[in-house]
Chains A and B, each alone.
Chain A
Amino acid sequence: MNGYRPSPLGLALAVLLLAGIAGLSRVPYAAEPDDRALLRLSWRYQAPADADCRRPTAEELAQLPAHMRNPDACVRTPTPFRVTARVGERWVVDDTLRAAGARQDRPVFVYVDVPVTSGWHALEVGFTSLAPETGGMTAGAPAVALSWADTVRIEPHEIVLIEYDRASRSLVRVLP
């Protein structure tokens, strides 16, 4: 092999070094403490926006490019939402969320992790629409008030996942 004659010590060290690299590829890492669990709120909600609509005149429509001639011209005011969560007596989440997207025309995305200890907990989650911040309401967005509450025993390393169920239009706990 090209005159390569490593000393036994050199060979042993090479094996040791490469074995070290191999060993470092599987270092046990305790990602979470033993009694850690999680309350996870994760859902998307297509928020109905308040829309102030009117029908443009024929002249107005004619001035627009063909692909932009929408028969209804609406000024939409997205509805903000309040998401809350309580573990026992402690409020752990109280956020105001708005619809995503630059024009706020995408759904509201809820994604919050709340670390909890394992054991029995009274959990309460709420998702309610707030009054629109601006504009009048013609199309009118119905008020939303969703909630979920239960007293559950959470196992160590368990994730209690709360989602929005579109079929029942309610917050539900996803069970394994």
Chain B
Amino acid sequence: MIRTLVNAALRVLRPLDRAFNRLYGWRFNPLYQSGTLAVLMFVILLVTGVYLLLFYRIGSPWASVAAITDQAWGGRWIRTLHRYASDAAIVAIVIHAFRMFAQGRSWGPRALAWLSGVVLTGVFFICGWTGYVMVWDVHGQILAIEGARMLDVLPLFSEPLGRTFVGPEPLPGAFFFMNLFLHIVLPIGVGALLWLHLSRLARAPLMPPRGLAWSVTAILLGLSVLWPIGMAAPAAVLGLPTEIPLDVAYGFWVPISRALPGWAGWLVIGAGSAAVLIVPRVTRPKPEKRPEPSTVNGRFCTECYQCSIDCPYEAIRMVPREDGRFDYVAEVDPELCVSCGICAGSCKPMGVGPPGRTGRDQLERVRQFLRTERPGPDQVVVVACDRSADWLVAGARGDAIEYSVPCAGSVHTSAIELMLRRGAGGVAVVTCPPRDCWSREGVKWLEARVHGGREAELLPRVSRDRVRLINGAEPGLEEGLARFAADVRTLDLPAPEREVELDFECDPVPEEERPSVSTAR
């Protein structure tokens, strides 16, 4: 059932990704940047919030916000931008969560990110709620009254909270002070939770690419100037609200809540929260299908540090070794390893990787593949991972031979070299767009190994004319493959080698670039 849901979500996501790639290019596809866009909105909220805070008065909440809104050259659009950014943040968060769900990136070591993300969303939402109550217009009043009605169901307060909002006396300043205090303190909580959310990621990007960030900000700013929000009627004690300009992002629940008794509202919240919180548990594959974490074969580890640097999840650390060969040896923390296999591509001596997917395992698989497929000098082998293969629409392969791998980013350069030296005319590795690599940094490191000389590099003796890395999301994949195949046919290729000797020697990372080592074992 849950697998069906995940697959259905992925079926929705894929065409959307493709459409947005066509419109914005993979670098600036906002769907790939949903998490960083949410952070950008948070930053906009902080900046605009500081300005609004200068003019807000807890003694006259509605009047002070109305005065801000009357500032045609400042307050009006800043308040509007504050509002629009808070709404856009919710949309970005929902897309981000949907994306992670659809891609199955919510269980195992990623469960912490999922769960902290859920709490983060809740805190963010409550922060927005307090923001609306601060204005104390009919919208804020209905949020406050409905919230109080829900809380009054719980045996927490001896006096019904709802009574706070009725009666002829104005609300005490203490209420608005408390509300303002929460509105300021909760973003600190958001910051702390964001740190926790990203704590298991190496080099987590916080901001979208500059072009996208400025574009989104500029559009929101333009909308704020051209389409500012006005003031709703002030909260009225002796009158029912007639028509409320409801913010769907923060008030979507109000019509539902008003139709239900308080306990039913809690039931809905409880069921909804439980459904979201158990996602890591229910999306986790069965034990027999669960990919195993990477392991290190200490015999091959030459203390080069590269795997510990490249691991996108900070699951590998260097610990002291005791056999006297080197000072340190790589060690994988299985609690943090998502089995992405990036380390397998990073390790020149092929001493680390998930079982069955290390560099040595890759070479063995390639040998079998070459024995059965026997690619000729005029043929191209298209290496594609389960996900990047999705970009290879029917016909795109031409007469190329497809070789599938779990993740293109984990392909060892020796495997590419072996294919070429054993007779294949060329090797094209079709990758996911770097911003959508399910293993986070696989594409980036592969490119650096093939073209940038990064450790575990494709050796200089391998002609780069015979290797092509193709981003599946770039337009013209079919033409690109056909052009590469045509180029390969024009090359003067050496004769296939029967026995290929590969270089397993690893160059240690310079000391100053090494991460700190753990002395604990």
- Where the two chains meet, the residues of A that have a C-beta atom closer than 8 Å to any C-beta of B are 1-4, 6-7, 9-10, 13-15, 18-19, 21-22, 24-32, 36-38, 40, 42, 44, 100-101, 106-107, 109, 111, 157-159, 161, 163, 174, 176
Contact = CB atoms under 8 A, between A and B. Distances in A.
Interface SS of chain A: helix, strand, loop or mixed? Answer: mixed
A158 B239 contact: yes
A111 B166 CA distance: 10
17 contacts: A1-B215, A14-B216, A15-B219, A21-B88, A24-B87, A25-B84, A26-B245, A27-B245, A27-B247, A29-B255, A36-B240, A42-B163, A106-B158, A109-B163, A157-B242, A161-B166, A161-B167
A2 B220 contact: no
Contacts of B244: 28-29, 31
Contacts of A32: 240-242
Contacts, number: 141
Given A32-B242, A109-B163, A163-B167, A18 B223 contact: yes
B247 A7 contact: no
Looking at A2, A7, A163, which has the most chain B CB atoms within 10 Å of its CB? A2
B324 interface: no
B238 A2 contact: no
Given A6-B28, A22-B87, A176 B246 contact: no
Interface stretch (B204-212, B261-269, B417-425, B449-457): B204-212
Interface string B133-166: 0000010001000000000100000111011001
B227 interface: yes
Interface of B: 23-24, 27-28, 30, 83-84, 87-88, 91, 138, 142, 152, 158-160, 162-163, 166-168, 209-212, 214-216, 219-220, 222-223, 227, 229, 237-249, 251, 254-255, 258
A101 to B, nearest CB: 5
Contacts of B152: 111
A157 to B, nearest CB: 4
Contacts of B247: 24-27
Nearest to B254: A29
A29 B223 contact: no
B83 to A, nearest CB: 6
Contacts of B23: 6-7, 9-10, 13
A170 to B, nearest CB: 16
B240 A37 contact: yes
B249 A14 contact: no
A31 B219 contact: no
B26 to A, nearest CB: 12
B104 to A, nearest CB: 26
B162 A157 contact: no
A3 B223 CA distance: 24
B256 to A, nearest CB: 12
B253 to A, nearest CB: 12
Contacts of A36: 240
A109 to B, nearest CB: 5
Looking at A21, A29, A107, which has the most chain B CB atoms within 10 Å of its CB? A29
B48 to A, nearest CB: 14
Given A32-B240, A111-B162, A1 B223 contact: no
Nearest to A111: B160
A163 B167 CA distance: 8
A51 B245 CA distance: 53
B91 A174 contact: no
Given A29-B243, A161-B238, A4 B249 contact: no
A109 B240 contact: no
Contact of B216 (A9, A18, A109, A161): A18
Given A21-B88, A31-B240, A109 B215 contact: no
A13 B168 CA distance: 49
Contacts of B30: 14
Contact of A157 (B84, B239, B246): B239
A161 B219 contact: no
